[in-house]
Structure 1
Amino acid sequence: MKYLTYILLVLILGHTINAQEIAVLKYNGGGDWYANPTSLPNLIKFSNQNVNTRISANPKTVETSSVEIFNFPFIHMTGHGNVFFTPDDITNLRNYLLSGGFLHIDDNYGMDSFLRPELEKLFPEKELVELPASHPIFNIHFKFPNGLPKIHEHDNKPPQAFGIFEEDRLILLYTYETDLGNGWENREIHNNPEEVRQKALKMGANILKYVFEN
């Protein structure tokens, strides 16, 4: 029994040591950066169980201008309203992304008109380009032959995935008119059918797997 207990402790500690952490971005401007509080924990659980990621169960919170941002290979950003990046935010976030970090922005509805000018400030020399359905992020594990799935209806627009690249590396993913985070949340919050929730979770797991393997 003591030997079995020892083996279990080694396995648990090994998982903890090797686990990676991801974070939610706390940005300026007054937008609700804290929206969808159950979404990332649910996505992490699904991803760890289905695509062999080893992500710590509870995501952290990090401010845009904080040096702590460099501790996280993946940062998630969401909300409904205003976004504003200060010059310090721009410098820090830009350095983070160019040095190997990744930012996923999921418009929870109402963020787009505020976000795009800030992205132009962040990378004035780069273009936000739409990802084709053939991009590996849509096929790395779960298959989405038509590209980004539609999860939550707002304005009857097609879902779109936009990216910013540094050479061939995708450093920023912006998911628009899909609302993946709503699909990741606890089922009772938005009452999405399970089929829709599964699409959202599978797409989210693809994003995480892509980031951690590229």
Structure 2
Amino acid sequence: DDNYGLDESFREEIAEIFPDTELTEIPADHPVFHVFFDFPEGLPKIHEHDGEPPQALGIFHGGRLVVFYSYESDLGDGWEDEDVHDDPPEIRERALRMGVNLFMFVLGQAT
């Protein structure tokens, strides 16, 4: 997640690791959004900071998603204790469900 200024440093570091590949938007029809729970619109918005829409960005290698970067979503906020961000239960559940999808997707990629 891009939490509190991490975006710029993350992009710099990921460019060092993958110098010939750019982060690209992951489309809403990608399996990561449908592997267990269905997210027809793609990455859910969990916590509002500045009103920007959420973006799922990734790096693909050999056709496989090897880096998943959530931008303007703040999935982690939905995973924290409910007292921390005061997000309603349905928002927190959405964050947990997306986390399950990420986990299930990774397990399905393991070979």
> How high is the TM-score relative to the length of structure 2?
0.94
Which structure has the higher relative contact order (CA within 8 Å, separation 6+)? 2
Task: Choose from 32, 51, 54 the match for 1:137.
Answer: 32
How far did 1:165 drift? 1.1
Q: Which runs of 5+ in 2 are unaligned?
A: none
Q: What amino acid does structure 1 have at the position aligned with 2:78?
A: G
* Moved >3 Å (runs of 4+): none
2:109 paired with 1:211: no
Q: 1:109-150: per-residue Cα shift (whole Å, max 9, x none)?
A: 311112111111111111210000000000001000000000
Task: Choose from 180, 183, 198 the match for 2:75.
Answer: 180
Q: For residues 36 and 18 of structure 2, what CA distance do their matches in structure 1 show?
A: 30
CA RMSD of aligned residues (A): 0.8
Q: What amino acid does structure 1 have at the position aligned with 2:94?
A: K
> How high is the TM-score relative to the length of structure 1?
0.50
Q: How many equivalent residue pairs?
A: 109
8 Å CA contact 1:134, 1:145 repeated in 2: yes
Give the greater-gyration-radius structure (CA).
Answer: 1
Alignment of 1:141-180 (within 5 A): 141-180=36-75
- Partner SS state of residue 49, structure 2: coil
- Partner SS state of residue 109, structure 1: helix
The share of aligned pairs that are identical, in percent, is: 53
